[in-house]
Amino acid sequence: MPKTNLPTVSELLAVSSCEYAEGLSRQQFIDPVIRQLWSPMPRIAGPAFTVKCGVGDHLSLHAAIYRAKPGDVIVVQADPDFASAGGNVCAVAQKRGIVAMVIDGLVRDLGEIRDCKFPVYARGMMPKPAGKKQIYPFNQAIQCGGVTVHGGDYIIADEDGIAVIPKDRLNEVYALAKTRTEKDAEMNLIEWEAQHSKKIESKLKELGFSD
């Protein structure tokens, strides 16, 4: 059976996280409390390299920057009370070709992270770092912002949010998102308003509403 070609990173980046909602449930979008920590931040896309950190610990993440492949997005289940990464860790990750980090937790050295323009999504900042005493297997299922993320799932993130696309649904979800993008691009605002108004009025009538 021939191998199905997956969309390229460039193709994935051409579609906003909003359009990926066409083929994904709400459960595949990470809690918006995990957000861009500087702006303007470019849209990012890539396979997830999943990391679990222990309570009060960040050794797994610090080890992950030497194990993730260029093009990966490191996705982290972290302790919510300590910084899991700082400026140097992010700079080394960037140097090694890692696309971004999505951390269900905190970071520090935001100025350094901003200056090197490394994309980081997290809950916020904390000056106090975690320790280095626990290690967990990589690329296992983790929880990040209420979403179960597996190693190899695809992450699409931009200013609107973070989508997690199951790796076995990438072609399907991308095709739906691309079709929606192309459809929207073909319609000007007047045309959009006309079809939107018609749709809304039809729905109101269906619900028995009258002014």
Could you tell me which residues are annotated as the binding site for substrate?
86-89, 108
**Given 3-state DSSP classes, what are the helix, strand and coil percentages for the chain, each rounded to the nearest 5?**
35, 25, 45
| Separation CA 99–CA 118 (nearest Å) | 8
Instruction: Give CA 118 to chain center in angstroms.
Output: 14
- Annotated binding residues for Mg(2+), written as ranges, equal 109
Residue 18 tokens, joined: 């909003």
| Separation CA 114–CA 7 (nearest Å) | 29
Residue 78 tokens, joined: 């972290």
- Annotated binding residues, written as ranges, equal 86-89, 108-109
